[in-house]
Structure 1
Amino acid sequence: MRTLTARVAAPALLIVALAGISGCGILDDTAEPAVRDESGEITASSEADVFSLKVGDCLNQTTTEETAEVSSVPTVPCDQPHDSEAYAATDMPDGEYPGDQAVIDASDTFCYDQFATFVGLTYDESTLELASFFPTPESWDQGDHEIMCFISSPDGQVTGTLAGANR
């Protein structure tokens, strides 16, 4: 299981859980990897296994519920309208699961810090929003230590990347 959180207000550490992600092994048996070309870019819309996502991938919202479990997400080429874009990823250190709050804090810190590098403005200065996937105790035990950060516009879908958007 992975968890998606979103920041929609000034970073007073407001976290709203939007979706959880789970699979019966790290890769879900029914979801396929994203459809990519030789360079690694997504070339066709698909329902892709969440563990096949990479920085630079674009996807559409999978749920409007506060909390939901999913094993796949709708990916699209970034030159098509999309809801969010993966802008940074890192792996947490190996070892025992550090606890829910430590994982949330690590995700918050990493995504917040990487935001300005990607957008060109700090999160506080920007009108854009961020969200993240991060491991749960179950996925951690299966080797998932990745934090992945996503950016979106509160104005709706965008076409192309938000890299260097300065907004």
Structure 2
Amino acid sequence: MHRSPRPGLLMTAALALSGVAACSGDVLDVTVGDCLDRSDLQGEQVSSVSTLDCAEPHDVEVYSQVELPEGPYPGEDRVRALTEEHCTTAFEDFVGVPYEDSELYFSYLTPTEESWSDAEDRTGLCLLLADEPVTGSLEGAGS
């Protein structure tokens, strides 16, 4: 998957062929409501992450997802544009204020051409990023 806007976080979810252990696993298994550690999201492509209980300190929360259109891979720019548009709209619904008015920022994960073709991955994930570790959800944070 690809990473996205603001502070240089733009990721690509790569097709991971490794097994899953406990709370650690394939990035394709990450869903809305999962909390993560930003250190798992470093690099141009991300193939595996460890999910955290949101009651524990974390600095990333998956707040929305978008199902991208069926068909051949439309290209990295189009996949990113569709995901970013969705994440910007979903941000206000989740946080409670428009993105432009918030102190929080988001990024996203998008399918690579490989995961699109080999794993039929059509999901873009919206990630709410905190500057410092938080406990609990940032839903309704209003900032």
Verify: 1:53 aligned to 2:30, yes or no.
yes
Distance 2:77 2:45 in 1: 19
Could you tell me the TM-score, scaled by structure 2's length? 0.89
Distance 2:67 2:41 in 1: 27
Bigger relative contact order (CA 8 A; separation at least 6): 2
**In structure 2, C-alpha distance between the alignment counterparts of 1:132 and 1:56, rounded to whole Å:** 14
Unaligned runs of 5+ in 1: 9-15, 36-45
Contact map agreement 1:19 1:63 (CA 8 A) in 2: no
- In the other structure, the counterpart of 1:134 is 110
RMSD over aligned CA atoms reads 1.9
1:22 corresponding residue in structure 2: 14
Q: Where in structure 2 are the equivalents of 1:45-84 lying within 5 Å? A: 46-62=23-39, 67-84=43-60
Normalising by structure 1, report the TM-score: 0.77
Higher helix share: 2
Structure whose alpha-carbon radius of gyration is higher: 1
Deviation, structure 1 residue 58: 0.2
Q: Is the contact between residue 115 and residue 123 of structure 1 (CA under 8 Å) also seen in structure 2? A: yes
Tell me by how many angstroms 1:98 deviates.
1.2
Aligned residue pair count: 142
Q: Residue type of the partner of 1:88?
A: S
Match of residue 85 from structure 1: 61
| Residues 126 and 96 of structure 1, relative CA distance in 2, 3 Å threshold | same
> What SS class does the counterpart of residue 157 from structure 1 fall into?
strand
Cα displacement (A) at 1:104: 1.2
